[in-house]
């Protein structure tokens, strides 16, 4: 940037990307370079602190509906059918919660912020049997970061330095098949993992407008001389945040929030303790 005379840098991404933007901003300060470094929050996980919503979240929730619909059809079309959908969400269950709430087809939603048991009288498997006996089928939505305590830790990290998570979706599928086989209760388990299909798609109208406004505000901030900031929505207002404030830790879902309680009401699931 110094060699090429670049005086504005716009960085789009999540917590890791913003940490990189902050490091560049700090280095520019050390070199006394007049370069504005401004972030634009883009993550489908919706896990950046202090922000109402990040670009990509609405589209991901909408795309997740297709996977949930497929799981519902598979489960509903089989005798004692169970459809499992694993959605993205390393440390937060916003996608799983919103997708479950909006679909109206989910019976069990499992997220990283709320611990649960699989086995036992109050576990997920016990409730699944009840659903199969009463409804005849069940649909389960699980966030990728949920139930990691059931999986063996490898301590491996990806290119961004994040711990590689175990596959909770496959684990739950195997545990279900094993449990119902051992108990002699017939169950047809189908597993759907849309992975990047909920991210690698065109932005919907809501996200397009959000991204446009965030981009415009980022440019306004850079031309005004701000640096080391990111743009976002807070309490329905477009504001500038200091980057260190929003990357100190991931934003997580509040299990006591009214939105999570709405999700529980929609699914009808109990506490799995």
The torsion angles phi and psi of 60, rounded to 5 degrees, stand at -65, -40
Token match 């269950």: residue? Answer: 93
Distances (CA, A) of 230 to 9, 249, 251: 12, 15, 16
∠ CA(153), CA(157), CA(163), 5° rounding? Answer: 55
Angle at which helices 124-134 and 168-182 cross, to 10°: 60
The CA distances from residue 161 to 49, 156, 164, 243, in Å, are: 19, 9, 9, 19
Q: What angle do CA 107, 111, 115 make, to 5 degrees?
A: 100
- CA dist list (Å): 101 to 110, 157, 168: 12, 32, 21
**If you search the block for the tokens 């108990």, which residue do you land on?**
183
Catalytic residue among 45, 47, 58, 207: 45
Q: Is 45 a catalytic residue?
A: yes
- CA atoms of 148 and 171, how far apart (whole Å): 10
Structure tokens at 90: 């390393």
Instruction: Catalogue the active-site residues.
Output: 45
């Amino acid at each position: 940037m110094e060699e090429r005379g670049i005086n504005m840098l716009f960085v789009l991404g999540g917590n890791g990307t913003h940490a990189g933007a902050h490091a560049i901003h700090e280095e520019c300060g050390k070199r006394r370079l007049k370069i504005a470094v401004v972030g634009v929050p883009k993550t489908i996980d919706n896990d950046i602190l202090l922000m109402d919503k990040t670009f990509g979240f609405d589209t991901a929730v909408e795309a997740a509906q297709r996977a949930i619909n497929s799981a519902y059809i598979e489960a509903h079309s089989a005798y004692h059918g169970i459809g499992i959908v694993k959605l993205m969400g390393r440390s937060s269950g916003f996608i799983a919660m919103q997708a479950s709430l909006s679909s109206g087809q989910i019976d069990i939603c499992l997220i990283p912020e709320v611990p649960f048991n699989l086995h036992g009288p109050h576990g997920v498997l016990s409730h699944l049997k009840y659903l199969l006996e009463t409804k005849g089928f069940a649909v389960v939505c699980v966030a990728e970061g949920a139930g990691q305590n059931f999986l063996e830790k490898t301590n491996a990290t990806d290119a961004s330095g994040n711990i590689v998570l175990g596959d909770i979706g496959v684990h739950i599928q195997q545990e279900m098949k094993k449990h119902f086989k051992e108990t002699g209760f017939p169950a047809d388990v189908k597993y759907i993992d849309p992975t990047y299909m909920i991210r690698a798609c065109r932005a919907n109208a809501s996200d397009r407008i959000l991204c446009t406004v965030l981009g415009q505000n980022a440019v306004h901030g850079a031309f005004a001389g701000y640096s080391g900031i990111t743009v976002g929505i807070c309490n329905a207002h477009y504001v500038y945040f200091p980057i260190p404030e929003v990357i100190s830790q991931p934003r997580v879902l509040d299990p006591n929030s009214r939105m999570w309680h709405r999700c529980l009401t929609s699914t009808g699931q109990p506490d799995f303790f």
